[in-house]
Amino acid sequence: MANESRPCPCDIGDRFDYGGRGQEVQVEHIKAYVCKPPAGTDKAVIVIHDIFGWQLPNTRYMADMLAANGYIAICPDFFVGQEAWKPSNDWATFDEWLKTRNAGKIDKEVDVILKYLSEQCGAKKIGVIGFCWGGAAVQHLMLKNPHLKTGVSLYGVIRFFEDRSSLLHPTFFIFAEKDDHIPLEQVTLLEQKLKQNCEVDYKVKIYPGQTHGFVHRKREDINPQDKPYIEEGRKDMINWLNKYL
């Protein structure tokens, strides 16, 4: 990974003042944050957090945004009680920490959440979005879970699943041009493999001048020139979900 001292800057520009509009629930063995839209709907989106976990204000803000756009949004704790990464942690220990949190081993939890959404929330069409670690998890689910309709992977770490590209469902990949952790050559390679092997709709988009984590950070407060791209990324995400859910 580039920049070993800071493997993931998703926490820059946190909305620490953001409390969230939803509520925390217990779903079998998993805690989750749920936000529902004002009007009833049978469409839901599972939000997969980054390394900073399910309680990160930025991620809850994105779940609330999905609810405001008409979706039941649920952000489960995919670390299942294990501690999320903290910016104050020693980045030298990051790889060890990551070994116990595999983005490809969330299937049991996803099945529990799908059941909850179907039985408790009346959801019939369910999609998934994810950021960074969660973006890689989205790619994993799009490769194997038949019950999801679509996915949006936001700066998902390509190297986790770079050898597999036969997606089952339409998938939108959002990347940042200046991402220290996902080199553009990896994105190009992903596109080539998708072109060769993918039989469903997909899209790969690179946002100019942006860095890792841009869509779910409040970076418009730090760099006003980023604001149009942050807004474009969020709008593109919603439009993709609207198209396939």
Q: Is 75 one of the annotated active-site residues of the chain?
A: no
Q: Which of 169, 212, 216, 226 is catalytic?
A: 212
Catalytic annotation present for 107: no
Looking at 11, 49, 132, 140, which residue is catalytic? 132
Torsion (CA) 94, 155, 159, 102 in degrees, nearest 10:
50
Residue 35 annotated among the catalytic residues of the structure? no
d(CA 166, CA 163): 10
- Say if CB 176 and CB 212 are below 8 A apart: yes
Residue 157 three-state SS: coil
Q: Are strands 72-76 and 23-27 parallel, antiparallel or unpaired?
A: unpaired
Nearby residues of 180 by Cβ (< 8 Å), 6 or more positions away: 2, 3, 6, 9, 211, 212
**Which residue is catalytic, options 179, 181, 226, 236?**
179
Which positions are catalytic?
132, 179, 212
